[in-house]
């Protein structure tokens, strides 16, 4: 995957102290879906909003798209305040919802052309062709939506959201409930959009997806943003290398000649385990150093099992240790 550096400019979207409380239904208490959310999105970046079910992701998108009325806070997009200029802002946003009601007898070309018209953009056959080609839909332009595979249908939803040339695209759970092959296909399509320079906010509860696609990641849980950072920085700040050396003979104590910060002996004396590093490769150098020391001292081992903590481990840790992270 290509490295992608977003331009350092004014944010394309600025969310400040955003709150949303849904009134309770019947006897149920009100639900605080968004709690004091601050977020800035940079032009040209792919931002992944990562959180479990019910974290508030869809509510946040809804608030920016004018579908959900916040109970507090402000949203500025493209330098305008959503409260006063929501129509102008909405015209510059593309939304790919989790599911969309479409007329299954419509053709691909008609569906996408119609979406452009919805935002008052003049008809532009050339532009529609470009969008359809970028998403590999041009050959299917005359097919009715009902004839398409699940993957193609999802691409049509993206094409519809892109038809009016939005500056900011929301993808709400783009690969929820799809198989692995389709997920990889979607990732490829999102990469195409990255090349086109579209700013993208995608929501996901798949760590792998955030890890694969995003430049920056925000972690949200129970309506609160726990952390926002460059993906690489998150790994560096919280990542860890873990390496286990399976020893040929038991050891009672770690000899001073191989002692290394982060190195520990298992209870049965049959494994040496190293935990440390910054999750950005630094730990692997320490593992190599330990391996060299073992060789130098003639201490035999049959295997080394090395793993870097994934964003998944980090996410679990964040949600578990929230007070520590929030501090």
Q: Which residues bind ligand ATP (CB under 6 A)?
A: 22, 31, 33, 51, 53-59, 205
Q: Pick between residue 22 and residue 301 the one whose CB is nearest to ligand ATP.
A: 22
169: β partners: 94, 200
Can you read off the two tokens belonging to residue 99?
């599911």
Give whichever of 33 and 134 is closer to ligand ATP, judged by the CB atom. 33
Q: How many CB atoms lie within 10 A of CB 303?
A: 9
Tokens representing 148? 């398409």
With beta carbons less than 8 A apart as the criterion, state whether 160 and 6 touch. Answer: no
Residue 174 CB, nearest approach to ligand ATP (Å): 12
- Taking the complex as a whole, the smallest distance from the CB of residue 175 to ligand ATP amounts, in Å, to 12
Query: Going edge to edge, which strands form the sheet with 216-221?
Result: 93-96, 168-172, 199-204, 46-50, 216-221, 224-230
CA 277, chain centre distance (Å): 24
Q: 85 or 208: whose CB is closer to ligand ATP?
A: 208
CB within 8 A of 270, min separation 6: which ones?
246, 247, 250, 251
Q: Which residue number, 35 or 278, has a Cβ lying nearer to ligand ATP?
A: 35
Q: How far apart are CA 10 and CA 292, in angstroms?
A: 49
Question: What span, in angstroms and rounded, lies between the C-alpha atoms of 111 and 117?
Answer: 10
């Amino acid at each position: 995957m290509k490295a992608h550096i977003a331009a350092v400019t004014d944010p394309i979207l600025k969310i400040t102290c955003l709150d949303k409380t849904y009134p309770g239904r019947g006897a149920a208490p009100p639900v605080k879906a968004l709690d004091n959310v601050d977020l800035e999105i940079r032009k040209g970046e792919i931002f992944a909003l990562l959180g479990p079910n019910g974290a508030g992701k869809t509510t946040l998108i809804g608030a920016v798209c004018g579908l959900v009325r916040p109970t507090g806070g402000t949203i500025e997009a493209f330098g305008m305040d959503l409260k006063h200029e929501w129509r102008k802002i909405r015209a510059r946003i593309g939304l790919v919802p989790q599911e969309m009601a479409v007329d299954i007898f419509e053709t691909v070309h008609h569906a996408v052309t119609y979406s452009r018209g919805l935002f008052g953009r003049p008809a532009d056959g050339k532009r529609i062709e470009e969008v359809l080609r970028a998403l590999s839909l041009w050959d299917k332009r005359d097919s009715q939506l009902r004839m398409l595979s699940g993957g193609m249908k999802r691409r049509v939803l993206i094409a519809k959201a892109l038809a009016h040339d939005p500056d900011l695209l929301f993808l709400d759970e783009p690969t929820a409930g799809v198989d692995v092959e389709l997920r990889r296909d979607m990732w490829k399509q999102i990469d195409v959009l990255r090349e086109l320079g579209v700013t993208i906010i995608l929501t996901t509860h798949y760590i792998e997806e955030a890890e694969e696609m995003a430049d920056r990641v925000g972690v949200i849980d129970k309506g609160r943003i726990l952390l926002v950072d460059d993906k690489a920085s998150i790994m560096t700040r919280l990542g860890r290398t873990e390496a286990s050396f399976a020893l040929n003979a038991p050891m009672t104590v770690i000899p001073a000649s191989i002692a290394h910060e982060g190195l520990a002996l298992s209870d049965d004396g049959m494994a040496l385990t190293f935990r440390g590093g910054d999750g950005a490769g630094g730990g692997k150098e320490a593992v190599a150093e330990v391996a060299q020391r073992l060789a130098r001292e003639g201490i035999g081992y049959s295997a080394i099992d090395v793993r870097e903590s994934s964003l998944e481990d980090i996410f679990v840790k964040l949600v578990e240790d929230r007070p520590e992270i929030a501090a």
